[in-house]
Amino acid sequence: MRSGLSSKRPEMQIISTAREAHAFAKGNRETVLVPTMGGLHQGHLELIRAARAAAGNEGRVAVSVFVNPLQFEPGADYERYPRPERIDEDLCRQAGVDLLFRPSAAEMYAADRSVFVEEQTLSQTLCGNSRPGHFRGVCTVVTKLFHLLAPRAAAFGEKDFQQLAIIRRMVRDLDFPIEIIPVPTVRESDGLACSSRNQNLSEEERRQAPVLRSSLLQAVELVRQGEISSIRIINQVRAQIGIAPSARIDYVDLVDAETLQARERVEPKSLLAAAVFFGRTRLIDNLLLA
């Protein structure tokens, strides 16, 4: 451990334009990127730690904060999405980030934009069903960030399992020379996955939200007892979530962790994934069953 080096790191740079991003990318030190929509929490900080570990002290860690309008379907929570700019900035600085890229929507998208990046298979299930256009927005913005900042690697969280799978597919199919670093889900002490959206929950909704995690864990127990039928597992999970009065299930699905296609029974690499509204706030979680 070469202690003391991090304290010598130059002050964090904050930029907001494509021009500045391209200039940063031209520097000859490697960059590891952490794309976010801000409202930073422990999950994001874990991604930043993973990025620093991958970059080393010589490399640069870049964090992008951009609430991407393209990935919010009409009527979703784009306007309500938290934007605590000053706090995010401080958290990045404390975490030893080298560059904070914080573009405006106008900087990222021309009014008459007409080119998009779309993954067409993995995007058809799970969140893709209930959020049409969401992953097209994600792939388009991540492509732009990859072009703008030219990272050697980028960190993504396993909480957004489908997103991670789609980004990996995109990187493979479009030949981005970028390593994708997966980061395990970070949770609050009661098991609820950290999410920027958690702050939109009322006190009562926050109290009920851990049922999302505990219902998935109950499925692990069922499998341990020998249950292999997807439908029975899904029904049990749905029933447990249903006990929470504020919960409204979007989906509970059991899929192959690689193809994300539905499975009738539990097999190796089965992923159980759920999306549930608590009031107006939609939360997701997942776990590998076998």
Q: Of the residues 41, 44, 134, 147, which is catalytic? A: 44
CB nearer ligand AMP, residue 193 or residue 237: 193
Site for ligand AMP in 244-273 (CB under 6 A): none
Cα dihedral 34, 98, 89, 24 sign: negative
- Residue 248: CB partners within 8 Å, gap ≥ 6? 276, 277, 278
Minimum CB distance to ligand AMP, residue 227 (Å): 28
Q: Which of 31, 143, 196, 208 binds ligand AMP (CB under 6 A)?
A: 196
The span from the CA of 211 to the CA of 193, in Å, is 11
Site for ligand AMP in 92-151 (CB under 6 A): none
Q: Which of 66, 146, 156, 176 binds ligand AMP (CB under 6 A)?
A: 156
- Residue 208: CB partners within 8 Å, gap ≥ 6? 244, 245, 246, 247, 278
Number of residues that bind ligand AMP (CB under 6 A): 17
Q: Please tell me the chain's helix, strand, coil percentages from 3-state DSSP, rounded to the nearest 5.
A: 40, 20, 40
Minimum CB distance to ligand AMP, residue 8 (Å): 28
- Residue 36: CB partners within 8 Å, gap ≥ 6? 44, 47, 63, 64, 65, 66
- Residue 24: CB partners within 8 Å, gap ≥ 6? 13, 15, 31, 62, 99, 101, 149
**DSSP conformation class of 27:** S
Site for ligand AMP in 60-79 (CB under 6 A): none
183 near ligand AMP, rule: CB under 6 A? yes
Q: Which of 12, 31, 44, 205 binds ligand AMP (CB under 6 A)?
A: 44
Q: What residue number has its CB nearest to ligand AMP?
A: 157
Judged by CB under 6 A, the stretch of 85-93, 110-118, 144-152, 193-201 that binds ligand AMP is 193-201
Encoded tokens for 61: 């860690």
CB nearer ligand AMP, residue 195 or residue 246: 195
CB nearer ligand AMP, residue 194 or residue 247: 194
The span from the CA of 27 to the CA of 248, in Å, is 48
Site for ligand AMP in 21-40 (CB under 6 A): 36-37
Indicate if 41 belongs to the active site: no
Encoded tokens for 265: 């029974």
Catalytic residues: 44
Which residues in this chain contact ligand AMP in the complex, by CB under 6 A? 36-37, 43-44, 46-47, 156-157, 159-160, 183, 185-186, 193-196
